[in-house]
Amino acid sequence: MTFPHKIYDNYSLLQKNTLGLPSTARYYAEVGSVTELRCALAFAREKHLPVIPLGGGSNVVFGEFLDALVVHVNLKGKAVLSRDRDCVRVRAEAGENWHELVLWSLENKAYGLENLSLIPGTVGAAPIQNIGAYGVELKDSFVSLEAMSLESGLVEYFDRQSCDFGYRDSVFKREKRDQYVIVSVTLDLDATLKPNLGYGQLGDLLARRLGNQAPSAVDISQAVCDIRREKLPDPSEVGNAGSFFKNPEVSQLTMDRLKQEYPNIVAYQIGRNWKLAAGWLIDQAGLKGERKGRVGTYQKQALVLVNHGGATGQDVLSFSSMIQRKVNEMFGIRLEREPRLYMDDIGKIPRHRSRDQDNQDAI
């Protein structure tokens, strides 16, 4: 079979994940079009290999060796499809940087994504876990997406209902897991700004900065960026994957029990249940700033795991398991990891290849 682009063997993924974990893919391809993606998937089927789609590498934990085809989805393009007095419909290809899409939307007077500023990763990854921050989720503006089937190579259409979004969740993390690669996303944004300032820290910061003056979308975006930069380390300086655990949801009965034991517990009500702040739970377990070997929790935000240098995927997995165990022992709450773990196919990097050979043999 002839391929229109290069597929590399034994490719280092060290620079392709924000945790900075050493990992080698048996095969690696970067695709810039639907045609190239279809060819790459055909290659994987021919080799009987699993496919690992890769965007910004900000929500993954890699093992040492991935016996798979890692496909870096680099499809680019964004456009305003339509505009009326209420709505601006936009489409973005999967390889677009998410934060750059947010800034572009504001430049085009399309509002609703400002609270999602500075979330790392690409557009294609956003629907998979229904990204959210400061009272806003992707599903709030989501219209549809297109995704290519790994089995057939055909592009299929998914509307909001068929994506079945939940908290940091979608059908692509459940029933459709490992079956599709997202190629584009379509959103309906607001033609006029409707500020969502219900998240206390965001509203408080804007009030201090602007007083009684109504914030612009750029004001909101900048405030969100400043809060995130204060709480989260820059992956280019300290390896991390952002928030490592989901905020657990508990029943009213469990909340009543916890409130009696911990009157200052940080939580907020959603319907009949309560959402707990995972970072607060980890902090109360005495694990904020904790370090074990080459992995630790960030000293400013216990929810973030950091690579202090030289950590492996197994190190991160072991450290996160320790956090889960201690939080469960103290609160009776099981924390769920947020990043996707690619650990099943861990093996040893082939010894017959020198480091200088990695990344150089294109087939």
Q: What is the CATH number of the domain that holds 24?
A: 3.30.43.10
Mean pLDDT of all residues in 284-305: 95
Q: Which residues contact 295 (CB under 8 A, 6 or more apart)?
A: 305, 306, 307, 308, 311, 315, 316, 318, 319
168 lies in some domain: yes
Per-residue b or e along 266-289, where b marks 16 or more CB atoms closer than 10 Å to that residue's CB: ebeeeeeebbbbbbbbbbbbebbe
One domain, residues 45 and 133: no
Collapsing DSSP states into helix, strand and coil, what is residue 210?
Answer: helix
Residue of 170, 243, 249, 337 marked catalytic: 243
One domain, residues 288 and 257: yes
Instruction: State yes or no: is 175 an active-site residue.
Output: no
Mean pLDDT of all residues in 94-111: 98
Q: What percent of the chain has pLDDT over 70?
A: 93
Residue of 168, 228, 337, 340 marked catalytic: 168
Instruction: State yes or no: is 168 an active-site residue.
Output: yes
253 lies in some domain: yes
Question: Per residue in 131-149, pLDDT tens?
Answer: 999 989 999 999 999 999 9
One domain, residues 320 and 305: yes
Judge whether 62 and 21 are in contact, CB under 8 Å.
Answer: yes
362 lies in some domain: no
What is the Cα–Cα distance from 109 to 32, expressed in whole angstroms?
A: 28
What is the Cα–Cα distance from 121 to 222, expressed in whole angstroms?
A: 18
Supply 326's token pair.
Answer: 């201690």
Domains: count for the chain: 3
What is the Cα–Cα distance from 325 to 271, expressed in whole angstroms?
A: 28
Give me the CATH number covering residue 99: 3.30.465.10
Question: CB count, 10 Å around CB of 256?
Answer: 11
One domain, residues 63 and 94: no
Placement of tokens 């809060």 in the chain: 227
26 lies in some domain: yes
One domain, residues 266 and 164: no
Range of the domain at 96: 78-190
One domain, residues 64 and 159: no
212 lies in some domain: no
One domain, residues 178 and 159: yes
Question: CB count, 10 Å around CB of 241?
Answer: 27
Question: Per residue in 152-209, pLDDT tens?
Answer: 999 999 999 999 999 889 999 999 999 999 999 999 999 999 999 988 789 999 999 9
Residue of 45, 156, 338, 353 marked catalytic: 338
If phi > 0 it is left, if psi is from -120 to 50 it is alpha, else beta; for residue 151 that is: alpha
Query: Is the pLDDT reported for residue 345 higher than 90?
Result: no
Query: Is the pLDDT reported for residue 4 higher than 70?
Result: no
Instruction: State yes or no: is 137 an active-site residue.
Output: no
